[in-house]
Amino acid sequence: MEKLKIIFEDNHIIVVEKPVNIPSQADKTGDIDMLTIIKEYLKEKYSKPGNVYLGLVHRLDRPVGGVMVFAKTSKAASRLSNQVREKQFEKTYLAIVNGKMEQEAGTLEDYMYKDERNNMSKVVPEGTKNSKLAVLDYEVLKYSEELNLSVLKINLHTGRHHQIRVQLSSRNHSIYGDQKYGGRGHGKQIVLWAYELKFYHPITNEKLVFKSIPSKIGSWKILENCI
């Protein structure tokens, strides 16, 4: 069983750091997933017989690590899900991308279409059937001329399928190690990380901020003196 790294826990929510390559919830692979890991932890910690309630509020792609919040009650799950819908739930990511960005900061807006059969998404012209608007802001934290890689801090305004990966790759700045969308670093781990979550506590309504910084090893060494 994967060791659970807990950032915060109370009676209503549990905030954890999701390791890379573990699904947020059970999928067709049958591999261990975060929902199952946390449920097992709660059963053991509180000696609960039978099934434990745990609400999945948001997801991270399997290869992406970082901060996630889960709801321990149905009321908390409902209120947090409402914040996601009302865009009060703020998600910030770190990404290492190929090349030098044309601007130090900016907003990317595209229409995206999800190809269900291939589990891939792409940028399409506005008005394309079943397409959805995708918006993110980015800021360049660092550029390494030696590696020709940029470190970006990204704020997501919409939660489209593979959104960050697709919007950046469509501009020839694919994420390093992202084989699905043409990134350099074949065989490497994709360097995209859920860095910060901001939301209101579902019961007290207090504004909460949680951060998770990836270990500065491998491709993430570039973060030194950066964050």
Q: Active-site residue numbers?
A: 61
Residue 185 main-chain phi, psi, to 5 deg: 85, 50
State the DSSP code for 175. B
Contact 221, 188 (CB under 8 A): no
> For strand 132-144 and strand 55-56, is the pairing parallel, antiparallel, or unpaired?
unpaired
First to last CA, the chain: 31
| 99: nearest Cα among 136, 147, 138, 154 | 147
Q: Which residue, among 82, 30, 213, 48, has the nearest Cα to 38 in the 3D structure?
A: 48
